[in-house]
Structure 1
Amino acid sequence: MASVCTIHLPLIEASIMIIKNSVAFVTGANRGLGLAYAKALLAAGAKKVYAGARDPSTVPALEGLVPVRLDVTSADDIAAAAAQCTDVNVLINNAGITGNEPLLGDNGAQNLGKLLDTNLHGVLAMSRAFAPVLRANGGGALINMLSALSWLSMPTTSAYSVTKAAAWALTNSLRNELREQGTLVVGVHAGYIDTDMVKHVDGPKTSPEDVAKAVIDGIEAGDSEVLADGTARHVKAGLTATPPIYLG
């Protein structure tokens, strides 16, 4: 008879982060979902939100919103941001890019590498830089903007899905590593969000404001995962279907 291997997982103790009087940093915060996050945080009582953007002049002038120069693929920008923003206790890794080049296309490898630089390596670099900041400020919360495409791929999303699947695994790993310092790590999944990134896509889209509200509610509830819309909930439910949704 084959032996049975039992894996004992550590008990997960939920952390609760109150947004009121918090200090947040949002990447890609000059427009779209990032700006919606920034506005929602301020509306929920955050006393300051650092708005990371490649061009800080594109960040709207709002009370409590502090523009910060940030390209998440630049080690120098990230180091400077962490050195400047030492009071942060909420980090939202929102910045991301997409591309339609097939993995087996002429430029497939280059396109995938470019997406990985932002969607995976940028998230890791920001998390590494700000983990000590979060620890110094009581643990706080780290939120990674993922996607329903973390769990499946469509013909036009091959490279993007690869990067979001990797970012989902990264998020789960960061949760393990940051648990001891009391940091709540949240993975956010959603379908199409009504921003410039998917303006060419026909189909149902969730407003960025609704996604931001769902995430803030999830943070304050101590949730480790936020399924921000019906698409994300449908896709996750399909993971255990027969056949599973990711097999198409």
Structure 2
Amino acid sequence: MHINGATALVTGANRGIGKSFVDELLKGGARKVYATARDVETIDIRDSRVIPLRLDLLDEVSIKEAAVVASDVDLLINNAGITTGADLLTSPMGEIRADLETHLFGTLRVIRAFAPVIEAQGTGAIVNVLSVLSWVATTEGSGSYSVAKAAEWNMTNGVRVELTGRNILVQGVHLAGADTDMMAGVDGPKIDPANVAKGSLAGVEAGAIEVLVDEPSRFVKASLSGDPARLYG
């Protein structure tokens, strides 16, 4: 599909990667962009094509209501997420469930609501912003997030299979770290969030089902077929 003329919906559009997606969609000629967040007052509106819309991944009613309002969407960008910083062995189980509820079940709720909307347009795409942590566990404080992103990654694959024949591209986007508020307390290299959006949208136009936007993601993906000691040794 083409970004020019598309009608997109971006979750978590009030900052970071989500805001960059909105900006890049507008630059690419999108006809309309539904910018969603739990609090619409936090959404920066600088273009008449941007329509603020409340959507909370944990509130199924808000998701269904958004799907009614945004009934012309042909490009869905699932970017919204959280990070609890929970460890698997010591943190409260509720925090681990929160990561899974948000990244796995919340994202799936949005897809279930909007897949029929996109299909009704005749063609379209669904983009899930994932992580290098979909494939590897790293530092303390990322165990729960990594499990949730691994689940979201394979959910992305499963949705792709179930949508076979419906003319909907399902893309997974992987990155190690972007220079966003969520990553502010994390050390290490971080890419410009605009590069995440640019890489993903270029992949949408090229029909790419997976986009790796930085070197750490490419390294880890290439290492998965080898000895795990390369990643954990």
TM-score interval, normalised by the smaller of the two chains:
over 0.9
Q: Of 96, 99, 121, which aligns to 1:112? A: 96
Per mean C-alpha deviation after superposition, the further-off stretch among 218-227 and 151-160 is 151-160
Aligned equivalents of 1:49 and 1:194: distance in 2?
Answer: 23
Cα distance change on mapping 1:246 and 1:124 into 2, 3 Å? farther
CA RMSD of aligned residues (A): 1.1
Structure 2 SS opposite 1:52: strand
Unaligned runs of 5+ in 1: 1-16
Runs (4+) of structure 1 moved beyond 6 Å?
A: none
**Contact 1:238-1:244 at 8 Å conserved across structures:** no
Which amino acid in 2 is paired with 1:213?
A: K
Cα distance change on mapping 1:197 and 1:224 into 2, 3 Å? same
Structure 1 SS opposite 2:163: helix
Partner of 1:3: none
Q: Of 83, 87, 96, which aligns to 1:102? A: 87
Aligned equivalents of 1:94 and 1:196: distance in 2?
Answer: 14
Q: Of 45, 53, 58, which aligns to 1:73? A: 58
**Contact 1:239-1:245 at 8 Å conserved across structures:** no
Q: Of 150, 168, 171, which aligns to 1:165? A: 150
For these two proteins, the number of residue pairs brought into alignment is 231
Aligned equivalents of 1:131 and 1:78: distance in 2?
Answer: 12
Cα distance change on mapping 1:89 and 1:104 into 2, 3 Å? same
Structure 1 SS opposite 2:228: coil
Structure 1 residues 25-174: aligned runs within 5 Å: 25-63=9-47, 64-107=49-92, 109-156=93-140, 157-174=142-159
The Cα shift of 1:139 comes to 2.7
Aligned equivalents of 1:232 and 1:186: distance in 2?
Answer: 15
Please tell me whether Structure 1 or Structure 2 has the larger radius of gyration of its CA atoms.
1
The Cα shift of 1:66 comes to 0.7
Q: Of 159, 162, 185, which aligns to 1:200? A: 185
TM-score of the superposition, structure 2-length normalised? 0.96
Percent of paired sites with the same residue? 47
Partner of 1:184: 169
Deviations 1:189-220 (A, max 9, x none): 00111101110111100110111100011000
